[in-house]
Structure 1
Amino acid sequence: MTAENEREIYHKLEAMKEIRNKTITLERLKRSILTEVRSGDAESRCLAQYKREMELLQQEKMSHVEELRQIHADINAMETVIKQTEESMSRKLSAASRLHEDYRPLKAEVDLLRRQCLGLERLPELHEEEGSPVTPDRFPALSAPAARPVPFLAPAPVRKPPPPPPAFRSALDQDFLTVSLRQQPPPMKSCLSCHQQIHRNAPICPLCKAKSRSRNPKKPKKK
């Protein structure tokens, strides 16, 4: 075998070795490409599901937004109805109160005429009638009887009582003196600790609980 043949064989072996290494690398790249493509396809399917779910959530959101809008509209309408009803109630109760102011004196006059002219009893009050929606506390004036006109009567002459006998007067003077003495305040003294006024005979101050000592203690009697 000539040297030229050996070199040719050597070059072929080197080329085969290089082809083998590159083929192995190529296979690795191919497997990687297939793996990434499969993963990409799986992510694409997941992405389509996610987008569909997002669309459903957006639709649900819009439905809730419409529900909230309708709820707010109902709330505003109800507030308007409540305000109008409160104003109507206030007007009707004010009108009833004004009518009641005219009703009370007229009823008092009718009751007086019935009693004086016909000897009849008074008419029932509004809250006394059967099925009446008026309660005694509906109008403040219902809690007290209606004022009735009283016919004028000349005052009777005032007679002075006769003076009491001397013995009875002495008894009265004695009772007045006893009551006056009972109403006098008890003897007091100042507490030496808190300087508040306490009873003169109190052994302990009711305020500071300190023992009370008299400034002029009684001297023991000599036997």
Structure 2
Amino acid sequence: MGDEQEIMCKLENILEIRNKTVQMQKIKSRLKVEFESLESEEKHLKEYKQEMDLLLQEKMAHVEELRLIHADINVMESTIKQSENDLNKLLETTRRLHDEYKPLKEHVDALRMTLGLHRLPNLNEEEEKLSLDYFEKQKAEKQDARQTATFRQQPPPMKACLSCHQQIHRNAPICPLCKAKSRSRNPKKPKRKPDE
């Protein structure tokens, strides 16, 4: 191999080295960008998973809170029922005492009149709360309030969420507990156009 050929060979090698080095630098730059993107996405994924864990914890806290509220409602319903029973018993006792008092008072008033004395005041004249009318009115008002409350507190139609299996309103488009989309068991059929 002559000197000229050797020089040409070296020049070709130098050119190839330069071209390959430029190519390497380009790939290296792209690698750096991709690696930074990879690190960033990994960081985002970690944050998303942490957020998901927090949401699941919040969901479970709400489920437990709802369970406790339902338990409290059951206790209050039992307490109200017991209180109403006690009230009815007391009303019956009051009515019976009134029934005993009335003929006695009429008898005493009749005896007083024979002696020219004024009759004794009626219970409602003496004290309004001792009159039977007062208790009857109170009972009617308590029953009205209870009926209104019962009507207002009737549970809405429910269904189980397909995702978290908790009871939710039948028409809810999204589960308020797990935020999953709720599908109807009987979806509406699309209306046919008149020209079909």
Query: Which range, TM-score by smaller chain?
Result: 0.5 to 0.7
Q: Is the 8 A contact 2:112 2:118 kept in 1?
A: yes
Deviation of 1:12 (Å)? 4.1
Q: Which residue of 1 aligns with 2:119?
A: 122
**Where do 1:165-180 residues align within 5 Å?**
none
- d(CA) in 1 for partners of 2:135 and 2:77? 28
What residue identity is the alignment partner of 1:85? S
Give the superposition deviation at 1:10: 4.0
**Aligned partner of residue 138 in structure 1, secondary structure:** helix
Alignment correspondent of 1:87? 85
**CA distance in 2: counterparts of 1:135 and 1:47, whole angstroms:** 75
Partner residue of 2:34 out of 33, 36, 54: 36
| 1:87-118 deviation digits (Å, cap 9, x = unpaired) | 221222133223323332332122112222x3
Looking at structure 2, the residues matched to 105 and 136 of structure 1 have their Cα atoms a distance apart, in angstroms, of 15
- The answer for the alignment partner of 1:137 in structure 2 is 133
Worse-matched range after superposition: 69-78 or 56-65: 56-65
Cα distance in 2 for residues equivalent to 1:93 and 1:123:
24
For residues 56 and 139 of structure 1, the distance between their equivalents in structure 2, rounded to whole angstroms, comes to 55
Give the whole-Å Cα distance in 1 for the aligned partners of 2:93 and 2:15.
115
Structure 1 residue ranges without an equivalent (≥5): 141-223
**Structure 1 Cα separation of the partners of residues 95 and 66 of structure 2:** 43
Q: Note the alpha carbon deviations across 1:151-200, whole angstroms, 9 max, x for none.
A: xxxxxxxxxxxxxxxxxxxxxxxxxxxxxxxxxxxxxxxxxxxxxxxxxx
Report the Cα distance in structure 2 between the residues aligned to 1:108 and 1:42, rounded to whole angstroms: 96
What does residue 186 of structure 1 align with? none
Q: Which has the higher contact order (CA 8 A, sep 6+)?
A: 2
- Equivalent pair of 2:129/2:135 in contact (CA under 8 Å): no
What is the distance in 2 between the residues matched to 1:9 and 1:90?
120
Question: Following TM superposition, by how much is the alpha carbon of 1:85 offset from its aligned partner in structure 2, in angstroms?
Answer: 1.1
Write the distance in 2 (CA, Å) between the matches of 1:20 and 1:91: 106
For the structure 1 residues 11 and 95, does the alpha-carbon distance in structure 2 shift closer, same or farther, using more than 3 Å as the test? same
| 1:72 aligned onto 2:67 | no
Q: Which residue number in structure 2 is paired with residue 45 of structure 1? A: 43
State the SS of the aligned residue for 1:121: coil
- Name the amino acid aligned to 2:15: K
Question: TM-score, normalised on structure 2?
Answer: 0.55
Aligned residues: 136
Residue number among 17, 20, 23 corresponding to 1:19 in the alignment: 17
How many percent identity over aligned positions? 51
- From the superposition, tell whether residues 88 and 125 of structure 1 become closer, same or farther in structure 2 (CA, over 3 Å): same
Residues 113-158 of structure 1: CA distance to partner in whole angstroms, max 9, x if unpaired? 2222x3322222111224x523473378xxxxxxxxxxxxxxxxxx
* Larger CA Rg, structure 1 vs 2: 1
Relative to its length, the structure with more helix (as a share) is 2
Q: Alignment partner for residue 56 of structure 2, among 41, 52, 58?
A: 58
